[in-house]
Amino acid sequence: MTGKPRKQIHLAAHFPGVNNTTVWADPASASQVEFESFVHLAKTAERGLFDFFFLAEGLRLREHRGRIHDLDVVGRPDTFTVLNALAGVTDKLGLAGTINSTYNEPFELAKQFASLDHLSGGRAAWNVVTSSDAFTGENFRRGGYLEHGQRYQRAAEVVEVTRELWDSWAADTLVIDRAAGVFAREVPETRHRGAQFDIAGRFVLPPSPQGHPVLLQAGDSDDGREFGASAADAIFTGHGTLEAGQRFYADVKGRLAKYGRTPDELKILPAATFVLGDSAQDAEERARHIRLQQVGPQTAIAFLEQVWGRELSGYDPDGPLPDVEPTDNVDITRGRVRHAKDPRAVAADWRARAEAENLSIRELIIEVTARQQFVGTPAAVAEQIDTYVQGDASDGFILVPHLTPGGLDEFVDGVVPELQERGSFRTEYTGTTLREHLGLRHPHRHSTVHEGARAS
Ligand SMILES: Cc1cc2nc3c(=O)[nH]c(=O)nc-3n(C[C@H](O)[C@H](O)[C@H](O)COP(=O)(O)O)c2cc1C
């Protein structure tokens, strides 16, 4: 045994949808817009003592080959509306919303997140994203689009102003002179002059229970990582395998010192899916079946078309890869982060893999789109998760179930007790705020109340 204390695992529940992880064809799948679905997942996560519930955000319906891409979720209710409603039916669970910093104003964001923090008793979190494309920007004022570097400059300043607004009441003074009937709050004016914002005014809400709602960041470029290291409390990442996770973890935590921060002040939370079974073989069979449902014939061709940049509907999904070359048409799919930076190199790599392993189009797409996945009995999955966390590949996971809304049920019933048994996961909530669940400091607050006559 080493003297290193056992790390405690942080778990979050990602509301399914957004991409083809969710199996809509399953008879157990329910609506992605009805409140009951959100309630079910949130209550399950709270029963499992999770740190928080998580909503992703899409601001424009995705299009593929000029039509709405309806192979995965189409349409999601507004994030703040859902989270505020969930605050009323949950008690301890953190409530995290993905909200874009490119298209929103800091005053409005500060008010919305402070409100959620007040209404939930200190459980609000903001996943700051910058958006990846001009296509989404078309929905906004003057197109709302900014080049990549500028998006992060704006994000940093949005967060800076938001925090100034949240802090502005910290130095306030509530003057109470009962005899004279004076109840006066002196709130200093917030004045911010920067490259992006020139703002003067008084913030409209008193400090919320967390002072600063928890800040998450998702975005993997160098700028994105730097922004996360400088400003975020947690990073949501796709680097979920053991080696990639350890590299990412070391990279980002290594950036903290220059901002005067310690490794504990930033949690790394990769996305992960899971498949459970009564035996290892049962779980493997279920996982294979789910992957076939997630990558149906049409989805396989759509993925291929994204890389090839051309219509390939004439190709048999159960046949070999196309012999035609990819084009530079990056707009075949719009509203989705495009990962193939060099389509010809990706196509060459995929052809080599398909040939070496004798894979059809669909089988290849199943392989190349496989996400971090924990597969096994509840005890085996608990062991895998614990190994990743104790091995510094992450501080926990944002779990993405494949079914809406019941996909987390068997994890909470089966895996959580195993993690508790291992001493790596809480057996009850010890705090009330999300900052406390995540082991993060509350920002310093120093409001003062003066009883007596007001100095004139
Ligand atoms: C794990 C992960 C999850 C993301 N989730 C969302 C999301 O829900 N909504 C959104 O608009 N962008 C989302 N993004 C996109 C990022 O916020 C960012 O805009 C994009 O990755 C471009 O930034 P980058 O170049 O730093 O990666 C996500 C990115 C990552 C890595």
User: What's the pLDDT tens digit per position in 196-212?
Assistant: 999 999 999 989 999 99
Please name the residue whose Cα sits nearest to atom 3 of ligand 1: 218
104 CA → ligand 1 middle, Å? 16
Q: Which of 222-226, 265-269, 371-375 has the lowest mean pLDDT?
A: 371-375
Does the pLDDT of residue 444 top 70, yes or no? no
Q: How far is ligand 1, taken at its centre, from the CA of residue 337, in Å?
A: 8
Phi/psi region, residue 331 (left: phi>0; alpha: psi -120 to 50; beta: rest), is: alpha
Instruction: Report the side by side order of strands in the sheet with 448-451.
Output: 182-186, 173-177, 448-451
Q: What is the pLDDT of residues 313-358, one digit of tens each?
A: 999 999 999 999 998 887 788 877 655 678 899 999 999 999 999 9
d(CA 121, CA 93): 10
pLDDT in tens, 74-131: 788 999 999 999 999 999 999 999 999 999 999 999 999 999 999 999 999 999 999 8
Atom 31 (ligand 1) nearest CA: 219
Contact 125, 213 (CB under 8 A): yes
Residue 191, Cα to own-chain centre: how many angstroms?
A: 31
C-beta of 271 in contact with ligand 1 (< 6 A): yes
What's the rounded Cα separation, in Å, for the pair 369 and 279? 25
Q: Which residues of 257-295 are buried (b: 16+ CB within 10 A; e: fewer)?
A: eeeeeebebbbbbbbbbbbbbeeeeebeeebeebbeebb
Does 454 have pLDDT greater than 50? no
User: Is the beta carbon of 55 within 6 A of some atom in ligand 1?
Assistant: no
Angle between helices 242-254 and 378-390 (to 10 degrees): 30
pLDDT tens digit string along 177-190? 888 887 777 788 99
Choosing from 21, 337, 339 the residue with most ligand 1 atoms within 8 A of its CB, the one to mutate for a pocket test is: 337
Protein residue with its CA nearest to atom 28 in ligand 1 = 218
Query: Which protein residue's CA is at the shortest distance from atom 24 of ligand 1?
Result: 219
Could you give the angle at which helices 222-231 and 242-254 cross, rounded to 10 degrees? Answer: 60
**Do the beta carbons of residue 380 and residue 282 sit within 8 Å?**
no
User: Closest ligand 1 atom, CA of 100?
Assistant: 11
- State the residue for tokens 């229970």: 209
